[in-house]
Structure 1
Amino acid sequence: METNQVSTGIKGLDRILDNGLLRRQNALLRGPPGAGKTIFGLHFLAEGVEQDETSLYINLGEPTEYVQRTAAEFDLHPDDIHFHDLSPSDDQFAEDEAYSLFEAADVEQSVFIEELKDTIQDIDPDRVLVDPITEFRYLTKDDRQFRKQILGLLDLLKDADATVLLTSQAAETVSDDDLQFLTDTVISLHKHESHRTVEVSKFRGSSFRDGHHSYEINDEGVAVWPRIRPDRQATTEVTGETLSSGVPELDQLLNGGITQGTVTFLSGPTGVGKTTTGAQFLKEGVTQGKKAVMYQFEEARHTLLQRAEAVNIPIKRLVEDGDLSIEEIPPEAYTLDEFGQIVRTAVEEDGVDMVMIDGTQGFKQNLRGLGDDAQQALLHLGRYLRSQGVSVIIAHEIHNVTGTFQVTEEGTSNLADTIIFLRHVEYQGEMRKVIGTLKMRASDFERSLREFEITEYGLSVGEPLPNLRGILSGTPEWSGDKDDS
C-alpha cells in the first residue's frame, strides 16, 4: 500500500517532518549561499532512486557537471537521476557580459517552458528538484508575472503527480515571502557562527516539530539532529524500584537509595566528591543488572578510570564488559542536538537505563551553540530521560567552596527529584566533608548530616552529626563533645 508520505533521504529531517514530506505536494527549501540546499535536494532525489522512483533535477544554477560531481562525492546516485539543465551557458551572455536567459517579454511563450513541459511528459518523474527556483525572477517582467509562472509550474508538476522540492536563495536583500506563501511546506536553513540549524515553519496537512534543529554537512552528506522535546516522546512507566548506592550509611540517608526513573542532583563545590559518588551509584546499578553510561564533560576518561580504581570503585571491568560506558565529550565537539541524538541512541537503541551527566558547567561550556539556552536544554534532556524511565544523575557544581549554602545556581532544582548535597566544612583548622539529602520527591529521607570521606577502600559515610550546626546559614559550627565529631 502506498503511503501518503515520502522520505527526504535524511533520517533526522524525516523525524522533524513526522515521517517525511507529503506525497504530491511541494516544499520550499530556503537558505543563504553555502547552507547546503543542493545537497539536501540531492538526498531527496537519491532516496527516490532507492525507492525505484524516477527523480528529475531541473537545474537553473550550477552546471550539471558540477552537480553530478557533488552527488558522486556523497554517493547519491548521480547516474540514476535525470537532469534537465537550464543553467547559463557561455552563449547566453551578451556582449556586455550581462546575464539574461531570456527576454522577459518572451517568457510566457518561451522555448524554456515548452522544453520543460516536454521533459516532464517524457520522464514522468515521481520526484522533482528545482534548484534554485529564484532564478525564475530573471525570466519575468515583474512580481506578478513571477508568481503566475511559479503557480503554472507547480500546477504542471502537480498534474504529473510529482513530489516537488524547490530551493530558494534567501537573503536580506532578496525576499522570498511570495514563494513561502505559494508553497505547501517551508523549510529554512540557517547558518550561525558555530553551527547550522534547520527549521520547519509551515507544513500543510501534517504536524511537525517546531524550533531550530542542528545539522551539518560531513563526508557522508547531510546529518540532521532533531532537538529533544520531552513532551513529544513516549512515556515509560516507572516501576518505583530502589537503586542502592552500595554504601549502607548513604542508603540510610536516602531511605534505601534513589528511585528508578528519577533525576538525582549531586550538588557541591569542586573537589568535594560528586563524580566519585556518581560513579559509585553507576557501579552499583550495573551490579543490579542495569546498563549505564556516564557523559564526561570535565575530566578525561582514562583519568576517571584510574581515580575510581584507586578508591576501590572497580568500574574498569564493567567498562570492558560493555555494561558501563564512559563517553568523553570534548569542548566544541558537538551541538546540543547532536549530543541529544547520542543520548537518544543510547537509551532507545542500546537499552541504557542509567545516565550520568558530569557536570553542568562542562555541559554548558562544551556544547556548541548553547548560548543562554543551557538551563532550558538541561531541563529538556532531563525530562526526556525521565520520561523514558531512565535513572539520571547530574553532577552540579556550585562555585562557593565555603560561605552561604547553595544547592543550585541556575534555577535547575525544579528538574531534580532528589538532591544530595556535599559540602566542605572547617573543624579545628582542618577541612572536612559532609553529605546530606535536601529533597526526595519519591520517598521520605533522613534529614541529618553525616561526615563523608573518600578513602582507598571506597566511600565512607559516618554516623549522623547531631552536633554540627549552621551549615545552611553558611557558618557551620560544632557544639558539644569534640569526640562526637
Structure 2
Amino acid sequence: MATVGKGKQQQRVGTGVRGADDILGGGYLPESATLVRGEPGAGKSIFSLHFLAAGIDADETAMYINLGEPEDYIRDTARDFDLNVNGVEFLNLSPSGDRFQEEETYTLFRADEVETPSLVKNIRTEVQEVNPDRVVVDPVTEFRYLAPDDHQFRSQILGLIEFLKSEGATVLLTSQAASSMPDDDLQFLVDAVINMLEEPGRRTMHVSKFRGSSVRRGHHTLQITDDGMRVWPQLDPNRHERERSTAKLSSGVPELDSLLSGGLTSGTITFLSGPTGVGKTTTGLQFMKETAGRGQRSVLYSFEEDRQTLFERAEAVNIPITDMIDRETLNVEVIGPDELTIDEFTHQIRTEVEDNDSEVVMIDGTSGFEKSLRGVGAEPMQDLVKIGRYLRNMGVTGVVTNEVHDITGQFRATEQGMSYLADSIVVLRHVEYKGSLRKVIGVLKMRTSEFENQLRELEITEHGLRVGESLPELRGILTGTPTWDENVD
C-alpha cells in the first residue's frame, strides 16, 4: 500500500491479522508507530510477522529489525504459520547476530556522533538502502539495556521513530511488558498501543491508544492456531441495525398462539422459563418447525444437551429436525464446555443472521451459556443483553430457555434476575393435581401486545405439542400445589 509520504494516499495499512483491522477501523494509519505490548509468549512476534507478510503480499517492501530472537528462528516461526516473509529484509541485531557482534561498543549514540559505531546509525543506513514501507522493531525494549540512562533511551527511540516515519514507513515496535520493566515512556512516544493479554480462559487484544481515529474499545478474543493469529471482535450491538418487521411468528399450535395474541413478535426476545423436563426446548423447536414450514431458517445453540439426545427427543414429538437440517431451514450447534469464547460465539450468531439469513435464534440454556463460554465477564447476563440487543436491531426473533431449579413450590419466573432482558416471558410449570403430575403453560409478560392472562394445560405427545383449554377452576397453580374451585363456571 502506498503511504502518505509515497503517494499521499490516505488509506489504512492492514495488520494482516484476521479480525484486527475491524477493531482498528481498517488498520494502522500510514506512517504511524504502534507499540505492541505483551508478556513473553503473548504472540507479539507472530502479530508482527503477519504485518510484514501482508506487506509482501501487497508488493510492498518490509524490514524486520530483530534484537531478540535470531533471524533463523523468526523465519522458522513464519514458516510454521505459512507466512510469506521471503521478501523481508532482516537487520539482525540480536545478541547472536553477526552485525551486533561486530560492533565495538553496545552503547547507543545519537546519529550525529559518528566518531563511534552506533546501532542507530546502522539502522538508519539500512533503512535508507531498503526504503521499506513496513518496519518491525522486535523488541524495542532491548535498546533500554544499551542506553546510559532513561532520558537518553527515550530520546534515541523518539529519534528512531521519527526517522522511520519520515522515510515513509509504517512502524511496529514490540515491548516485553512486565512489572520489572515498565514501558510507560514508550507508550507516550507512539501513535497507537495494542495490548496482548492473557486472561482467564483466553488471550485478548486491547487497544488503549490510537491517535487520529476511533477504534473499537474493549478486550477482544485473540487466538493463535496452526493457521496463524486471529482476532474475534466483541459484539457491539450499536454497529448493527436493519429494518424490522412487526409480524407475528406462529407456533403452529392455535391454543399456544392464542396465549401469545397470535404468536411471537418478530425482532423480540422471548424467555421460555421453567424447571427441567417441562418442555422448554420442545416449545422453542415448535416455533422453529413452523418457521421452517414457511421456508425460513432458524438456528439453535444447545448448551445443555448432546446432539443425539436432542434429535431423538425432537423426532419423538413429531418435530422433523433431521429433515429441517437437510433442507437448510435449521442449523443446530451443540456447544460444549470451554469450546468457544464469548466473542467466537457472537461471531457465529452474526454469521447466521447476516450471511445465512436466519430469522430465529434460540439459545438453549442460560446456565450452560454462563458456564460453557470462555471469557464471559463477571456479569454474564450482560453478554446475553448485548446478544439480545443485536437480535432486536437486526429484526431477528430470539428465544432463550431459562431453567429454574425448583420443580414445584413457590414460583419464580427466573432465578438469575433476567426478566428485564426479555420482551416476553412464557412460563412452563409442573403441577400436581389429584396425584397426577401435569404441565401448564402461560404468558407472564409481553411488551409488544396484549396477551391471554390464563394458564393452559400443556401436553407433549408423539403427535407434537398440545395446549388445552384455559384452567380457570384451578387456584394456586404457580405454587405447584393447586386446588379446585367448584364454584367457577
TM-score scaled to structure 2, two decimals?
Answer: 0.94
Structure 2 residue runs without a partner (length 5+): 1-7
Counterpart CA distance in 1 for 2:345 and 2:10 is 32
**Structure 1 residues 346 and 271, CA, compared in 2 at 3 Å: closer, same or farther?**
same
- 1:296 maps onto 2:299 in alignment: no
Select the residue among 136, 143, 146 that pairs with 1:129: 136
- Give the match for residue 398 of structure 1: 404
**Structure 1 residues 91 and 117, CA, compared in 2 at 3 Å: closer, same or farther?**
closer
Counterpart CA distance in 2 for 1:412 and 1:50 is 49
Counterpart CA distance in 2 for 1:102 and 1:439 is 77
Select the residue among 146, 169, 180 that pairs with 2:153: 146
Shift in Å, 1:56: 1.0
Shift in Å, 1:472: 4.2
Shift in Å, 1:16: 1.0
Counterpart CA distance in 2 for 1:55 and 1:477 is 80
**Structure 1 residues 242 and 117, CA, compared in 2 at 3 Å: closer, same or farther?**
same
- Give the match for residue 104 of structure 1: 107
- Give the match for residue 460 of structure 2: 454
Aligned residue identity for 1:89: S
- 1:333 maps onto 2:339 in alignment: yes
**Structure 1 residues 105 and 458, CA, compared in 2 at 3 Å: closer, same or farther?**
closer
- Give the match for residue 358 of structure 2: 352
**Structure 1 residues 101 and 92, CA, compared in 2 at 3 Å: closer, same or farther?**
farther
Aligned residue identity for 2:231: V
Shift in Å, 1:454: 0.4
Counterpart CA distance in 2 for 1:41 and 1:87 is 16
Structure 1 residue runs without a partner (length 5+): 95-99
Q: Deviations over 1:66-95 (max 9, x none)?
A: 00010111111121211111101288999x
Q: Deviations over 1:281-302 (max 9, x none)?
A: 1111111232111011111112
CA RMSD of aligned residues (A): 1.9
- 1:425 maps onto 2:402 in alignment: no
- Give the match for residue 311 of structure 1: 317
1:292–1:353 CA contact under 8 A, matched in 2: yes
* Residue correspondences, number: 477
Question: What SS class does the counterpart of residue 453 from structure 1 fall into?
Answer: strand
Counterpart CA distance in 1 for 2:314 and 2:66 is 59
Question: What SS class does the counterpart of residue 358 from structure 2 fall into?
Answer: coil
Aligned residue identity for 2:107: A
What percentage of aligned pairs have identical amino acids? 54
1:269–1:400 CA contact under 8 A, matched in 2: yes
- Give the match for residue 12 of structure 2: 5
Aligned residue identity for 1:72: R
Shift in Å, 1:194: 1.9
After TM superposition, the structure 1 = structure 2 runs for residues 5-404 of structure 1, keeping only pairs within 5 Å, are: 5-89=12-96, 102-104=105-107, 109=113, 110-231=117-238, 233-404=239-410
2:92–2:100 CA contact under 8 A, matched in 1: no
- 1:477 maps onto 2:483 in alignment: yes
Question: What SS class does the counterpart of residue 6 from structure 1 fall into?
Answer: coil
Counterpart CA distance in 2 for 1:284 and 1:105 is 73
Aligned residue identity for 1:156: F
Aligned residue identity for 1:382: G
Shift in Å, 1:474: 5.8
Counterpart CA distance in 2 for 1:174 and 1:83 is 26
Question: What SS class does the counterpart of residue 394 from structure 1 fall into?
Answer: strand
Select the residue among 418, 422, 447 that pairs with 1:416: 422
**Structure 1 residues 87 and 101, CA, compared in 2 at 3 Å: closer, same or farther?**
farther
- Give the match for residue 468 of structure 1: 474
Aligned residue identity for 1:32: E
1:128–1:164 CA contact under 8 A, matched in 2: yes
Runs ≥4 in structure 1, deviation > 4 angstroms? 90-94, 105-108, 472-475
Question: What SS class does the counterpart of residue 372 from structure 1 fall into?
Answer: coil
**Structure 1 residues 238 and 254, CA, compared in 2 at 3 Å: closer, same or farther?**
same
TM-score scaled to structure 1, two decimals?
Answer: 0.95
Question: What SS class does the counterpart of residue 18 from structure 1 fall into?
Answer: coil
2:33–2:170 CA contact under 8 A, matched in 1: yes
2:457–2:471 CA contact under 8 A, matched in 1: yes
Aligned residue identity for 1:288: R
- Give the match for residue 97 of structure 1: none
1:104–1:139 CA contact under 8 A, matched in 2: yes
Question: What SS class does the counterpart of residue 115 from structure 1 fall into?
Answer: helix
